[in-house]
Each structure stands twice: as structure tokens, then as C-alpha cells.
Amino acid sequence: MRILILGAGKMGTFFSDLLQPYHEVAVFDSDSARLRFTYGVLRFSSLNEVDEFDPEMVINAVTVKHTLDAFHSVIPHLSSACILSDIASVKTGLPEFYASCGHPYVSTHPMFGPTFASLSNLANENAIIISEGSPAGKEFFRQLYAKLKLNIVDYTFEEHDLTIAYSLSIPFASTLVFGAVMKHQDAPGTTFKRHMAIARGLMSEDDYLLSEILFNPNTPHQLELISEKLSELRDIISRRDSEAMRGFLDSVRTNIS
């Protein structure tokens, strides 16, 4: 299959390395310097080069902020049969775009990233395939993710957004609050250092990505749950209530077991 990847960032180069042994792959990036890190693929720095390549699938791997702009820019250079796909962690605007774009499409979300995951060993990671979309496109990514030994889950766009509000917004918000009250430690303990490593990794992500994930309409409800549990814990600590603390810890152990 002829596959065009938009964006030569970390995830774009990851997918190009993954696909190039089995497919004819081209990578487009308007910043030609970034193409230096792609190997065994065609390198395009102008969309006019896409015309002759005539891709059968486009994988949009640009940053979330520019996902829709990248699609709008490349569509004039594609045949109507070309499958559009994205791997965006934020799907805002994509259902509406796909409904009117005139192309078959598939939307997925690899639930891992270069900040924390080891891209060479993803056996314990997950991927979401959006149930709306092209059967051929979904089957392509199902086989691809299966080769990586990912756990694959099928969600609708709505279910995906609910899941992201829970699985990303809660740890993101908790980490941001941890960082917001942080003070320098001359002799940090192991737990502190682990939390700090997570906070530094999170803060290395793109500000727009962090904002859009937290701006998920389902996030406020999750934050309310955090606030309720913080208030409960603060009350237990203030009262030095050992029995209540034991019950709180038992409930946490049940949740994470």
C-alpha cells in the first residue's frame, strides 16, 4: 500500500519506521530539516509531490493543534478513494470533518507516547480504534496494532472522549497540582523523585495538547471527583481518625487492585 504520513515528529517517524519495510511510504513535513530523521521512505517537503505518489492512505501525525489544517491542505492532492486516518489523542472536530470530507476514514488513538512509553516494547500498552469509519481502514490498523501486541479496544468517538477524560485528565490534573505546590527538595525521597519524573515528562509535552485534553467537556466532572476525595482525605487527616483512614486506604487498594 502507498501510505503518506503527515508530520515527521516522534510519532510520524515511529509510524514510518514501522511501516516502511512492508509498504511504500512517503513522509511530508513542511520543515525539511525534520525529514533528516526518516529512513527508507520518500521525503516530501512540498504537497505538490503528493500528486504523483497518489497515496492510498494518509496517516495524519502532526500535532493536535494542526490536525485539521493538515487534512484540509492535503485533500486537494488526493484521490477520492484515499483513506484518511488520524492518531490524535484529542478528537475535537474530527467527527464533523470526516462526515463531510468525502473520503473513507479511520480514526485511532495509540494510548502511548514517546514521553513515557518505550516505543521498542509496547506489549503492555493499549490502542483505541474508533468504531465509526471505513472497515478496510479499521482492519489495517487492527492488524498493525496486533503486530505490536497492543491491547485493542473499540470505542465510538463519544466513548473515546469519555475514556480520555478519565484516563488522561485525572493523572494530568493530579500531576499539575503536584507541580503547582512544589518546593525545592535537597534530599528528595524515592516516591518524590518518581512523582517529579512524571511531572517533568508531562511538562515536556506541547501546551496545546495538554490544554485540549483538559478542555474535554467530560473533564470537569472528573475534577469534581478529585476535589471530593481530597476534601474527604483532608477531613480524615484533620480529625486524625485512624478507623476512617483505614477505610479510605482499603477503598484505594480495592480500586487499584
20-71 per-position pLDDT tens digit: 999 999 999 999 899 988 999 999 999 999 999 999 999 999 988 899 999 9
What are 185-240's pLDDT values in tens digits? Answer: 888 899 999 999 999 999 988 888 788 888 888 889 889 999 999 999 999 999 99
- The C-alpha atoms of residue 127 and residue 108 are separated, in whole angstroms, by 7
Q: Within a 13 Å sphere around the CA of 32, how many CA atoms are in the beta-carbon half? A: 4
What pLDDT is stored for residue 199 in this prediction? 93
Give me the mean pLDDT over the 131-146 stretch: 96
What pLDDT is stored for residue 64 in this prediction? 85
What pLDDT is stored for residue 164 in this prediction? 85
Please determine, for residue 101, whether its predicted confidence score (pLDDT) is greater than 80: yes
The sheet with strand 2-6 has its strands ordered as 42-44, 24-28, 2-6, 57-60, 83-86, 105-110, 126-130, 151-155
**Residues 129 and 152: beta-carbon distance below 8 Å:** yes
| Least confident residue range of 92-101, 105-114, 225-234 | 105-114
Q: Within a 13 Å sphere around the CA of 106, how many CA atoms are in the beta-carbon half? A: 21
What are 170-189's pLDDT values in tens digits? Answer: 899 999 999 999 888 888 89
Residues in the chain: 257
Per the prediction, the chain carries an average pLDDT of 92
Rg (CA), the chain: 21
Give me the mean pLDDT over the 247-253 stretch: 97
What pLDDT is stored for residue 120 in this prediction? 62
If we measure between CA atoms, which residue out of 61, 103, 68 comes closest to residue 82?
103
- The C-alpha atoms of residue 247 and residue 150 are separated, in whole angstroms, by 36
